[in-house]
Amino acid sequence: MNPRHFISLLDLSGDEFRRLINRGIVLKNNRDPDYQPLKGQVLAMIFEKSSTRTRISFESGMSHFGGSALFLSPRDTQLGRGEPLQDSARVISSMVDGIMLRTDKHETVTTFAQYSSVPVINGLTDLQHPCQLLADMQTYFEHRGDIKGKTVTWIGDGNNMCHSYIHAAMVLDFNLNIACPKGYQPLAEIVDAAGERIRFFDTALAAAQNSDLVVTDVWASMGQEEEQKLRELAFKDYQVNADVMKAAHSDALFMHCLPAHRGEEVSAEVIDGAQSVIFDEAENRLHAQKSLLEFLLCKKAR
Ligand code: CP
Ligand code: NVA
């Protein structure tokens, strides 16, 4: 039987997504050290890009559940010397219970999943960052309840995070306003599949009107460091600042997946202000992914 993977949020139904969120909240509020559903299980974590939150949350999550995690970088494995992905996926999956992969090309994760005999989790690609959305949505539900029918505003780059917000809007049924500079829009095929839930605006202020949640991300993602200066010019009018937050509902939340650049995509006043829930959001990577690990690796959880 093919294992259940987590490559995209579109792999989940709305019911499953909500179950994962609610279970993440329960796991957060009732930590039981004797609950070890993944005792003896091993998660291989392949990082071809840097990480703080993703690595620590998966590693701690496995440890809380009685299992363990292996940190693998291409520098120290044969993956970095060109061993075929198909072979690597077969070999690694024959020795572990799950594989988490952070890489640039999305196809690397889909190929890995195709040849893996155990669940594969997308820990970020240039196209999507679904694990972050589990945490973001858990954070919204904790602070404000179900997000169905609410309005979320994405400001900045039409990047991996923006794509996963579009997917979350489809699965959880919320409206998504997007304001990105010309040339930095999300991919048309991802936008088109989402239908009328997605609306584009020319300015950050217009996009934030009547919003319940305002979200942004860095202007230059990992791998785009050389474009930093160019992007600073292109994105200069797309900062989430106090004026943008004033355009949203007075109880709107602010989120950012982190790491953040204060003074670029978000003002210090907003990210460190009362509406910001960034540290709950970061902590929830742990709880939401424990919920995911239980769902994928623990036969009884499904
Ligand atoms: N938000 C996020 O994925 O953080 P890391 O890059 O630190 O894992
Ligand atoms: N868009 C960012 C997200 C980092 C968590 C990147 O890909 O670098």
Residue 302 reports pLDDT greater than 90: no
pLDDT digit string, tens, across residues 117-154: 999 999 999 999 999 999 999 999 999 999 999 999 99
What CATH topology corresponds to 9-129+285-301? Rossmann fold (3.40.50)
Domain 131-281: which topology?
A: Rossmann fold (3.40.50)
CA distance 11 to 121: 11
Q: Where are the domains of the chain?
A: 9-129+285-301, 131-281
Model confidence at 300: pLDDT above 80:
no
From the CA of 14, how far away is ligand 2's center (Å)? 25
Helices of type H across 186-266: 188-194, 204-208, 228-234, 242-247
Q: Could you tell me what percentage of the chain is helix, strand and coil, using 3-state DSSP and rounding each to the nearest 5?
A: 45, 15, 40
Nearest residue (CA) to ligand 1, atom 6: 51
298: pLDDT strictly greater than 60: yes
Cβ 265 vs Cβ 2: under 8 Å? no
Ligand nearest 278 Cα, by number?
1
Pocket test for ligand 2, best of 47, 154, 161, 180 (most atoms within 8 A of CB): 161
Percent residues over pLDDT 90 in the chain: 96
pLDDT band at 174 (very low <50, low <70, confident <90, very high): very high
pLDDT, tens digit (0-9, with 9 covering 90-100), for 221-267 = 999 999 999 999 999 999 999 999 999 999 999 999 999 999 999 99
Cβ contact 137:285 at 8 Å: no
pTM value?
A: 0.97
Distance CA 160, CA 241 (A): 22
Q: Which atom of ligand 1 is nearest to the CA of 54?
A: 8
Does this chain's domain 9-129+285-301 share its CATH topology with 131-281?
yes
Tokens of 298: 């623990």
